[in-house]
Structure 1
Amino acid sequence: MSELDILKGHAVNIRKNIVRMVTEAKSGHPGGSLSSVEIGVALYFTQMDINEENISSLNRDRFVLSKGHASPLLYSLLAEKGFLNEEELLTFRKIGTRLQGHPSMDKLPGVDMSTGSLGQGISAAVGMALSNKYHNLPYRIYTLLGDGECQEGEVWEAAMSASHYGLDNLLAFVDMNGLQIDGKVNEVMNPFPLDEKFKAFGWNVIVLEDGNDLEAVIKACEEAKTVKGKPSVVIAKTVKGKGVSFMENQAGWHGVAPNKEQCEQALTELEGGNK
């Protein structure tokens, strides 16, 4: 089995766990969690130096889930890395759980920033990258935003700061699946073209026509490492609900949990490689 096949296997497992935990909780955000899986797999399994020994240390690469409602993605990634048992995923959003609806750094090792209010995650990531730059530390900071999140003014304040301070140790991903809770992003409040906007703010911009292509995501990460003097952003065009036929490109699955029958169908599709 090739390394790429192993990575794709991680992606399938993560998608299945996302579906399971949201179904069990009867709430959560499956659509935007499923669309971002290849980005998460690329970061946690090919880029970041996070492991069991350094998970609670500041001396490592860090990831900020700026689109905090996609917490099922983050928790499933941490489980796939072996930092928590898969059984715990089924406590998602339940009373007393460590797996809050939005990530809490006080609850779970491996959550590098508490997020939820959109725009704050990338702002925190800029602060982390600036600190590393100031202290001459080699660690990189990664953050994941949604395209709907880019309607927030705070995103652009953070973008301006990152460029001003030349944070070439910062790589942001925008999960551009085109949909948000109220419908199409460009109809709710059009933030496009995001590539031109980030360029105007002084960022190095990489556009992925298929952000669910794992090899392309990895290549983009490697390309970003070669850029000096400015932050990088990957605008990844993805499919909301990726891997589950009845969820794909449907805004209605932004924040709705499947029932048991829908869960079984989704798991069957994912197991069969319908990605």
Structure 2
Amino acid sequence: MKPEFNPSSLRKTVVEMAFAGNAVHLGCAFSIIELLSRLYSRHMRYDERNPDDPSRDYLVLSKGHGVMAQYACLYELGWLERHDIDSYFHDGSRLKGLSDAHVPGCEVTSGSLGHGLSVGVGLALAAARKKSGQRCYVVIGDGEINEGPIWEGLLFAAHAKLDNLMVIVDANGFQAMGTTDEVMQLGDLNAKFAAFDFDVLAVDGHDMSAISEAIDALEAMNNGRPKALVAKTVKGKGVSYMENVNVWHYSRLNPDLYAQALREIEGASA
């Protein structure tokens, strides 16, 4: 039985890492907490004792700047140690501010946006050809969809009939320099994915029961079409002064704001 992750505990770990390392990217980590929690606890196949298990399902965090959320999950699994959390972003730490394939449980080195999906497509293609039954879940940001390689990857996934691939969009409505509508309007993402021959569903990205139901429904469609889950999320979810406030893409915690964030997170879990 895989562990059930408490989103509040994951957020607490993220805040502790960010404060320890005087690091940024809290808002974009908080928006994917429930999505990653549900993938690790209910849907992904992996060996809890061995992050390199060759039969594991793959989780590709293409929006690599949200990696603190994944590190928090890996810490809960025991694949990272408390020292890793307390020394996050320090000189000599193995935990960088972007996803790094040298860290157990991280499949890709990402953060150069637009490339992770292509890696995930390759992993899904290899698994399909080996008939291994492995799935690949790729988490992308909605701002990342501005990148042309995303659309090339979607085209190829449909061409190769990769129904073992699921693209999960963290649709929080923001990117580094503003809202997605201000920077580059995305329009109807459901319609766009459907036009690329994906099976697609939309979901509240913070409702864990709804997330699992949507993933189950998509995976039940064994029809040769890749899958997409458009998750409506809140950037900075869980801390009042961060929610939908885009300065928290690059802002850092001071002692007072750190203490307030912990109070709010711990209060939500009480």
TM-score, normalization: structure 1? 0.94
Please tell me whether residue 69 in structure 1 is matched to residue 65 in structure 2.
yes
Cα distance in 2, alignment partners of residues 70 and 64 from structure 1: 12
> Aligned residue for 2:205?
211
Alpha-carbon shift at residue 112 of structure 1 (Å) = 1.0
Please tell me whether residue 254 in structure 1 is matched to residue 242 in structure 2.
no
Q: Secondary structure at the match of 1:28?
A: coil
Alpha-carbon shift at residue 86 of structure 1 (Å) = 2.9
Cα distance in 2, alignment partners of residues 52 and 232 from structure 1: 26
| 1:224 aligns with one of 218, 222, 228 | 218
Cα distance in 1, alignment partners of residues 256 and 212 from structure 2: 35
Alpha-carbon shift at residue 156 of structure 1 (Å) = 0.5
Alpha-carbon shift at residue 58 of structure 1 (Å) = 2.4
Cα distance in 1, alignment partners of residues 70 and 24 from structure 2: 13
Contact 2:11–2:265 (Cα < 8 Å) also in 1: yes
Q: Secondary structure at the match of 2:230?
A: strand
Give ranges in structure 2 of 5+ residues lacking alignment. none
User: What is the one-letter code of the residue matched to 1:216?
Assistant: A
Contact 1:79–1:86 (Cα < 8 Å) also in 2: yes
Change (3 A) 1:274 1:248: farther
Please tell me whether residue 80 in structure 1 is matched to residue 70 in structure 2.
no
Cα distance in 1, alignment partners of residues 182 and 164 from structure 2: 34
> Aligned residue for 1:174?
169
Cα distance in 1, alignment partners of residues 269 and 55 from structure 2: 38
User: What is the one-letter code of the residue matched to 1:212?
Assistant: H
Query: CA-to-partner distance for each residue in 1:33-57, whole Å, 9 max, x for gaps?
Result: 0011010000011111223333112
Overall identity of the aligned pairs, in %: 38
Cα distance in 1, alignment partners of residues 248 and 230 from structure 2: 22
Cα distance in 2, alignment partners of residues 217 and 257 from structure 1: 30
Q: Secondary structure at the match of 1:99?
A: coil
| 1:267 aligns with one of 257, 262, 269 | 262
Alpha-carbon shift at residue 274 of structure 1 (Å) = 7.4
TM-score, normalization: structure 2? 0.95
Alignment length (residue pairs): 268
Contact 1:244–1:274 (Cα < 8 Å) also in 2: no
Please tell me whether residue 132 in structure 1 is matched to residue 143 in structure 2.
no
